[in-house]
Structure 1
Amino acid sequence: MTAQIDLRNLDLTDDPETQNEVFLAAFNSGKGAIFDSLYRDDSISNLSGKPLTGEARTRAITELLATGPQLKSTVRAYYATADTSLIIVNYDLVITLEDGRRQRILGKCTDVLVRGEDGKWVMAVDRPVADEVQDL
Structure 2
Amino acid sequence: MPTPITDAAQLPPAFEKAMNSGNLDEVLSLLAPGAVMRTVTGETVTGQALRDYTAGSIAGNAQLSNGPSRIVAGDDIAFISEEWTLEITGPDGNRKKATGTTANVARRGQDGTWRMAILNPLGTAA
Alignment TM-score > 0.5, same fold: yes
Selected match of 1:93 from 86, 93, 98: 86
Post-superposition shift, 1:34?
1.6
After superposition, the C-alpha distances for 1:7-58 in whole angstroms (9 at most, x for unaligned) are: x224323252x32211111111112222111112211012363111111111
Q: Which amino acid aligns with 1:108?
A: T
The size of the alignment, in residue pairs, is: 122
Whole-Å Cα distance in 2 between the matches of residues 83 and 15 of structure 1?
9
After superposition, the C-alpha distances for 1:96-132 in whole angstroms (9 at most, x for unaligned) are: 11111111111111110011000000110000118xx
Greater helix proportion: 2
Whole-Å Cα distance in 2 between the matches of residues 38 and 64 of structure 1?
16
* Structure 1 counterpart SS, 2:51: helix
Q: Which amino acid aligns with 2:32?
A: R
Q: Which amino acid aligns with 1:123?
A: M
Q: 2:11 touches 2:30 (CA, 8 Å); kept in 1?
A: no
Whole-Å Cα distance in 2 between the matches of residues 62 and 48 of structure 1?
15
Post-superposition shift, 1:76?
4.1
Whole-Å Cα distance in 2 between the matches of residues 102 and 27 of structure 1?
17
What is the TM-score of this pair, normalised by structure 1? 0.82
RMSD after superposition? 1.7
Where does the alignment leave 5 or more consecutive residues of structure 2 unmatched?
none
